[in-house]
Amino acid sequence: MEATGTDEVEKIKSKFMSAWHNMKYSWVLKTKTYFSRNSPVFLLGKCYHFKTDDSGELSTDGSSFDKINKEISGNVEEFRKDFISRIWLTYREEFPQIKGSALTTDCGWGCTLRTGQMLLAQGLMLHFLGRGWVWPDALDIDNSDSESWTAHTVKKLTASFEASLTAEREPRILSNHHRGTLKRNCDDSERRNEVYHRKIISWFGDYPLAAFGLHQLIEYGKKSGKIAGDWYGPAVVAHILRDELNSFVFVLRKAVEEARDPELQGVTVYVAQDCTVYSSDVIDRQCSRMDSGKAATKAVIILVPVRLGGERTNMDYLEFVKGILSLEYCVGIIGGKPKQSYYFAGFQDDSLIYMDPHYCQSFVDVSIKDFPLESFHCPSPKKMSFKKMDPSCTIGFYCRTVQDFEKASEEITKMLKSSSKEKYPLFTFVKGHSKDYDFASSPLHEEKHLFPEDEKRRLKRFSTEEFVLL
């Protein structure tokens, strides 16, 4: 009887925590973002112009369409459609319990995992769908202000409290679009694209069998001594954030290597060592054999952990970062600002465009047929000044073939040289293998050698400080 009472208390406590997360993380999304009409906007290699004769700012939430001419309206719509089509992965609640813990939410600690998932998702979208693909239903996502997120949060708080008293699952509040998704006639190409669209999202589902889901990433992280709930959340100091990022990219690579879906056998991940991309190592990964034994060239997603300055971001790197985000084979940047991780996908002037994972949403079962897609697409972009960005970040690129990699390495090397005012570039491409430079190739060795000894001692000292739960 006593045990039953304790269970009930835990359930009520869990419901209140869920309601608190909804209040805390539901303010993020509904702030409007304004764009200059007189400067181009870049989104993962695509350029959009909103220029008009009138100076001023333009909101991209659709509310200003009646105030601007049709040409500009078309450009804004194309940008919104492209942005919304990117896969958005955020905090979730009430997903299946994470093995070895009582956690059913990643609120407060999973933001870096989510931004890493978004970067990988963009790489897979380039691989299976191409950069020109956009979601046909992108502009159907409800982004009106008819119901504020504050009101929505209060509804969920009330529903959560009532559910906790009746021991029922918290009811979901669905949009009208969820209740009745329109069926469209589409050709074979559109059907194929929609199949891959859903499949890519399902690979990031929040259940144990999803190839790149939270549960799987945490299992791989255990091999590095990490456990769910106390890692990858932003730390008090930038040094810890950098350590988390570098650890995470190896976890991400491991997840791709271990993926069992046959369609993922054609993709591999390479992680740069000490800000150096060893060309022969990349090509070896691309030319490795499939599990079936068949020889074929693999596409590669290259992850380069870098630091854009010391304690603060050096503005000298702005032009290089803008140049990187202007490339269609760039899959984004995992970064953020102190204590928060974001997924950067574009820029306008000196501001970066990003998707924010700090928004708590209900668990979606992606194993069912025709699961709702809307919560995996962000209805509105956000902007942040480059100077506010934390210097620790990871840059991602996608190369389908060896020839694509060679072309990309030449192009990026030129950008690095032209943007480097000092003697050393941000990172380099080097011919040959890492072993030719006395580096071991094992992930464990790579992770150990991410920092010099004095930096390791400093990181160890910082690791005793408390983490901040957002």
**Pick from 395, 431, 401: nearest CA to 415:** 395
Q: What residues contact 1, with CB distance under 8 A and at least 6 apart? A: none
Residue 205 · residue 440 · CB < 8 Å: no
Active-site residues, by number, are 111, 356, 358
**Pick from 379, 315, 387: nearest CA to 352:** 387
**Cα 322 → chain centroid:** 18
Helices 402-419 and 279-286 pack at an angle, to 10 degrees, of 150
Give the number of other CB atoms < 10 A from CB of residue 292. 9
Enumerate long-range contacts of 46-54, CB under 8 Å, 24 or more apart. 46/82, 46/131, 46/328, 47/326, 48/75, 48/76, 48/78, 48/79, 48/82, 49/75, 50/75, 50/76, 50/79
Token pair for residue 199? 């499949």
The amino acid at 245: L
Q: What residues contact 16, with CB distance under 8 A and at least 6 apart? A: 160, 161, 164
Helices 318-325 and 402-419 pack at an angle, to 10 degrees, of 160
CB burial class (10 A; 0-12, 13-18, 19+) of residue 132?
Answer: exposed
**Residue 344: C-alpha distances to residues 86, 193, 195, 363, 395 (Å):** 12, 25, 26, 24, 9
CB burial class (10 A; 0-12, 13-18, 19+) of residue 464?
Answer: exposed
